[in-house]
Amino acid sequence: MVTDLADGAVRDGVRDRGATTVADRVVAKIAAQAAREALDAVPAGGSKPHASVVVHREIARVSVSLDLDYPSDVGRQCGAVRSRVRTRVEDLVGLEVHEVDVHVERLHSAHTRHTTPRGRLA
């Protein structure tokens, strides 16, 4: 319910009752899930994306770490992750996302996935 006040201000009845705070770890879980949604697939043998978040005054900075298949269009996939994370966090939590850092931890190649290392001394 929105009420017009005499001085021209608008009061939202819901906001006047209190505030909802979402813990940083919950925002991080939302960001990690959004990163999974943006990827073509999690590489075989790879780890699911994980995220960390710092929130200050309704502004979030997100850092996502992930594994990718190789060869692939790494730039396109990182861009898709940034976009999806920003959109999902803003839509679901209501925070402004000013920064999404994407860290590619490992590239997984289908050509080397099932081979054993050679030339190593025991």
Task: Tell me the domains of the chain and their CATH numbers.
Answer: 21-109 (3.30.300.20)
Report the Cα 122 to chain-centroid distance in Å: 41
Lookup: tokens for 53: 């978040």
* pLDDT on residue 9: 56
- pLDDT tens figures, 27-40: 999 999 999 999 97
* pLDDT on residue 103: 98
Give the integer Cα–Cα distance in Å for 89 and 86: 6
Q: 7 pLDDT band (50/70/90 cuts)?
A: low
* pLDDT on residue 19: 76
* pLDDT on residue 110: 77
CA distances, 10 to each of 7, 18, 40 (Å): 9, 16, 45
